[in-house]
Structure 1
Amino acid sequence: MMNAIVFSGVGETTYMKVPKPQIKKADEVLLKIEAASICGTDVHILSTPPSYPATQGIVQGHEFVGRVVEVGADVTSLKVGDRVVLDPNVFCGECYQCKKGNFNMCEEVYVLGITDNGGFAEYTVAPCKMCVKISEDLPAEVAIFAEPLTCVVSAVNKVRLLPGESVLVLGAGPIGLYFTMLLKANGAGKVIVSEVNPKRAEYALKAGADRVINPNEVDLVEEIMKETDGHGIDVVAEAVGTLIQTAIDCVRPKGKVVLFGMDSSMRPEVDQFKIVRNEIELYGSFIGLNTLPATVALMESGLIDLQQLITHKLPLKDFNIGLEAMRDGSALEVILYPESDENE
């Protein structure tokens, strides 16, 4: 048996004993969890009513770092002792979308920590194909960012930012801060972030923003036009899920907007005339597509400082403390460390 956080009902989790998982397929590996982190998706799963679907009774947690302790009969690319991060969105490889290479659109996908057992535990099992090896020198506190960061890397790849171009990031939650760091590292000239929370605004400046604008205090579009001599921003990253029209109003003619935030309850109006007349390029970006190895290389390079975003480090049993901090906005990155009974 092992300790785990189980999604036990609407808005509820239970810290409890569950059976230690076992390898059932030849392509799987058994991982001993080093660290896991609470994602905004976990908050949505545990809202009442839920704003993101998950399977009741599963071990939650889709962002984690682990060490291989056992391998299936067909596993050749990993061995016992290897450290890994992974993409929890397990694609089938056989459906129409997978055959076209669109693994992030898999029609039979299951997600570790959301629809199947994940990493808020001492151990978990994962398909080898979803794992990427990391070095012994990469701290777990950096590696833990692999899953959300690879999603943003995939989004940034779409816009193909040119050095010196201006950027606007809408929202300075964790995802918005990843966008800020990555676009700055990719050569953005001026990075502006829109954020209403003062604490998150501070983090945006630390992450590389040249200016943070509070849209509750000033007219964001007017300020953007002042900053760009009336031309508009070259690239806008929307990390909220409701601000597509704001992005369209701020971007220059023939500029680019990447939409990453998601809110299924909202149906914002969109000015199609402006999109067409100004030939604005819109990109939707969902999770990551073939970017995890590049993301690991980025983390191991030390090019961006991810550890500055860690606000809480907690034992797994204190999951609810971290969850509440995520809910009230006082947390950015909450890291959980599993503990066996011998260490408690």
Structure 2
Amino acid sequence: MVIEVASVGICGTDLHILDGEFAPTPYPIIPGHEFAGTVVAIGSQVTEVAEGERVAVDPSLFCAECHYCALGRENLCERWSAIGVTTSGACAEYALAPVANCQRIPEQMSLEHAALIEPLSCAVHGFDLLPCRMGEHYLVYGAGTMGLMMAQLARRAGAASVSVVDLNPDRLDVAAALGADAVARDADELDRPQGWEVVVDCTGAVPAIEDGLRRVRRGGTFEVFGVAAAEASASFSPFRVYNDEITIVGSMAVLHSFERAVALMSAGAVDAATMLSHSFALEDYAEAIEAFRQGLGRKLQINPARP
């Protein structure tokens, strides 16, 4: 199908792609994998979606034939691909997407908010991999888009408390406004010497990962959610992982979570209006990328229809 792109978010993965740190990406490529828009053309066999309907797009492309696809773990597909990552994406006026990847959005949802569904679906998958026991204490590293989403979902999942660490004081203010119980530039500033049952790194930064692993309470879980460079390595104590029965889990992209993310966005599980801070015209993409690198605002979007 052909989608007229209304909004496309800039993501940390885009920087890895642009900087040549994401091995599967061929060049040249049109980036943009967090997007929503209007269907303007469909194939002759398409009956599920009609022209004129508004959709959010799951960028994931799986082979449906390999070992991992057969196990239902398509995000680990041996031929994994994604719109805007390995094929042309949505930083353009129009984008192509299979009908199976397109989810209708509710009438009351704006297309700008709908472009947040893809990162929300990644956060939902991240929660699928956590124990999600009621009354546990969460520590989130990073108050960018993903950290703010994970913090809000933790609240909805029944966390007793949610703390957020980030070096950017402006982002910490947003985390507090969105319901974080405590925010700090360093976890040492937080009053929880016994540690947290769940610690989630949303930065991909090795110092944050190493620090976060030290903060996990005995029997707790550490989730590597942020995207680190492929060659990055982190140090940790294998003895402590063994002796304290620490669970370390990775969360990669989207898996059976996109439709649920549409429902959660529609239900107001995350404050989409607060999450969005800047909008750029398509011709200002380079400016938007530079603003993202500098940590400006919260979620930055490209709006191709913007004059």
Contact 1:65/1:85 (8 A) holds in 2: yes
Aligned partners of 2:68 and 2:250: how far apart in 1?
Answer: 16
Would the alpha carbon gap of residues 142 and 318 (structure 1) be closer, same or farther in structure 2, given more than 3 Å must change?
Answer: same
Does residue 300 of the first structure (1) align with residue 263 of the second (2)? no
| AA of the residue aligned to 1:191 | V
Pairwise CA distance, 1:75: 2.1
1:131 maps to 102
2:135 maps to 164
2:2 maps to which of 6, 30, 47: 30
Aligned partners of 2:4 and 2:213: how far apart in 1?
Answer: 45
2:286 maps to which of 320, 324, 328: 320
1:63 maps to which of 28, 34, 37: 34
Contact 1:37/1:64 (8 A) holds in 2: yes
1:91 maps to which of 56, 62, 65: 62
1:51 maps to 21
Structure 1 stretch 160-169 or stretch 148-157: which is displaced more?
Answer: 160-169
Pairwise CA distance, 1:275: 0.7
Q: Secondary structure at the match of 2:129?
A: helix
Q: Secondary structure at the match of 2:126?
A: helix
Any residues of structure 2 matched to 1:74-113 within 5 Å, and which? 74-113=45-84
Aligned partners of 1:145 and 1:282: how far apart in 2?
Answer: 27
1:214 maps to 185
2:203 maps to 240
Contact 2:136/2:160 (8 A) holds in 1: yes
The percentage of aligned residue pairs carrying the same residue is 34
Pairwise CA distance, 1:155: 0.5
1:214-245 superposed Cα distances (whole Å, 9 cap, x missing partner): 12xxxx3x555x42xx4321111111222333
Does residue 176 of the first structure (1) align with residue 139 of the second (2)? no
Contact 1:248/1:275 (8 A) holds in 2: no
Aligned partners of 2:214 and 2:7: how far apart in 1?
Answer: 41
Does residue 268 of the first structure (1) align with residue 240 of the second (2)? no
Does residue 250 of the first structure (1) align with residue 215 of the second (2)? yes
Contact 2:10/2:289 (8 A) holds in 1: yes
Aligned partners of 2:110 and 2:249: how far apart in 1?
Answer: 33
Aligned partners of 2:189 and 2:280: how far apart in 1?
Answer: 40
Q: Secondary structure at the match of 1:149?
A: helix
Pairwise CA distance, 1:184: 1.3
| AA of the residue aligned to 2:210 | Q
Pairwise CA distance, 1:329: 0.8
Which stretches of structure 1, 4 residues or more, deviate above 3 A after TM superposition? none
1:291-325 superposed Cα distances (whole Å, 9 cap, x missing partner): 00000000011232122121211211111221111
| AA of the residue aligned to 1:308 | T
| AA of the residue aligned to 1:299 | M
Aligned partners of 2:101 and 2:276: how far apart in 1?
Answer: 25
Aligned partners of 1:90 and 1:285: how far apart in 2?
Answer: 17
Contact 2:161/2:181 (8 A) holds in 1: yes
Pairwise CA distance, 1:57: 2.5
Unaligned runs of 5+ in 1: 1-28
Aligned partners of 1:116 and 1:258: how far apart in 2?
Answer: 28
Aligned partners of 1:81 and 1:136: how far apart in 2?
Answer: 12
Contact 1:38/1:335 (8 A) holds in 2: yes
| AA of the residue aligned to 1:52 | F
> Larger C-alpha radius of gyration, 1 or 2?
1
Name the TM-score, length of structure 2 as normaliser.
0.93
1:12 maps to none
Contact 1:31/1:69 (8 A) holds in 2: yes
Does residue 332 of the first structure (1) align with residue 298 of the second (2)? yes
Aligned partners of 1:105 and 1:163: how far apart in 2?
Answer: 29
Aligned partners of 1:317 and 1:223: how far apart in 2?
Answer: 42
| AA of the residue aligned to 1:34 | A
| AA of the residue aligned to 1:238 | D
Any residues of structure 2 matched to 1:144-159 within 5 Å, and which? 144-159=115-130
| AA of the residue aligned to 1:37 | G
Unaligned runs of 5+ in 2: none
Aligned partners of 2:249 and 2:13: how far apart in 1?
Answer: 21
1:39 maps to 11
1:19-41 superposed Cα distances (whole Å, 9 cap, x missing partner): xxxxxxxxxx1111111121111
